Amino acid sequence: MSVLTKVFVVLMTVLSIALSMFTISTMAQQEKWRQAATDWKASAADANAQARAITASAALEAQRAEVLYQENLATIGRLEQELDKLNIAVADMRRQNADLTNQLNNEQAQATSLASHNKLIEEARTREQELATQLSERNATLTRRNIDLNDRVKELTANMAMAQSRIKALKEQIGSLTGSGTSYSAIDTAQIPSSRAVVQAYTPSVSEPIGLSDITAPIRGQVTAIRGDLAEISVGAADGVGHGMRFLVYRRSGGAPKYLGTIRITAVEANAAAGVIEQSEGGIQAGDAIRDQASFALSN
């Protein structure tokens, strides 16, 4: 065999081997492509199924979103209506607040006016109370003066009786001295003042046979303080109070005076005195009235 033939055989052999390998490789590649296509179809089917599921889920979610949207729209409508009602209520409350503010201002003005009026009333009441106190004190003073005047009338009446008895005794004495047995007509008893007039002092021209003590006006006052068995009174030496004098203590409670006890004077000042409480018949206290015992005995 020639070399050329050998070379040709070798080349044919190499080409056959190469063609076989190319064929095998091509068939293997086609098998891979077929498997890849199968896998892609399966993947595509899965993706399509997932896409359909996602689409269905999206449609369901869209439907739900639409329902929720409609519900939200209805809720928003209700809220808007409630907001309108609340706005109306707020407006009403603002008007009521304005009315209440005006009413409060008016009431404050009235309260200020009433306070001023009450202040004027209080000042007037204070003045009336002061006037009432002054009138009460004046009434008490007038009552005491009335009592003193009544006692003075009694004393003057007693003086009149004693003066008439004195005049009668003097007439009888003068008649017995002259031996005529008749009384002088020069002494006119009609000229003797009545019990309501002021009695003038009588000075006889002869010595008086009847010894009569002078009747003095009563000494009146009140108890100013109590210290145990000691009492202070509102009258003193300037009123005729002296050591050893006794004062009757009494209290007026609408009716007759109530006797409470006796005070014997042991210390005297110009306008006050003090003494020991004797014969206590009740609770003597400051403000109780007093009167000297001597004038009381003469007036009765």
pLDDT tens per residue, range 281-296:
778 999 999 999 887 7
pLDDT digit string, tens, across residues 66-111: 999 999 999 999 999 999 999 999 998 999 989 999 989 988 888 8
Averaged pLDDT for residues 183-199: 38
DSSP summary character for residue 204: -
pLDDT-based confidence at 152, cuts 50/70/90? low
Q: Looking only at Cα atoms, what is the longest distance across the chain?
A: 244
Please give the structure tokens belonging to residue 186: 């020069």
Please give the structure tokens belonging to residue 50: 């997932």
Beta-carbon-side half-sphere exposure of residue 34 (alpha carbons within 13 Å): 6
For the question of whether the overall pTM of this predicted structure is more than 0.85, the answer is no
Given a contact cutoff of 8 angstroms between Cβ atoms, the answer to whether 140 and 221 are in contact is no
Sign of CA pseudo-dihedral 122, 123, 128, 133: positive
Cα separation values, 38 from 49, 265, 279, Å: 16, 151, 148
- The structural domains of the chain, ordered by start, are 218-300 (2.40.10.170)
Specify the pLDDT at position 196: 35
pLDDT-based confidence at 182, cuts 50/70/90? very low
pLDDT digit string, tens, across residues 201-257: 333 333 333 333 444 578 999 999 999 899 999 999 999 999 999 999 998 777 677
pLDDT at residue 159 greater than cutoff 80: no
**Cβ atoms within 10 Å of 272's Cβ, excluding its own:** 19
Averaged pLDDT for residues 62-68: 89
Beta-carbon-side half-sphere exposure of residue 184 (alpha carbons within 13 Å): 14
pLDDT at residue 64 greater than cutoff 70: yes
Averaged pLDDT for residues 188-201: 37
Say which residue, 210 or 9, is predicted with more confidence: 9
Please give the structure tokens belonging to residue 33: 């492509």
Average pLDDT over the chain, rounded to whole?
79
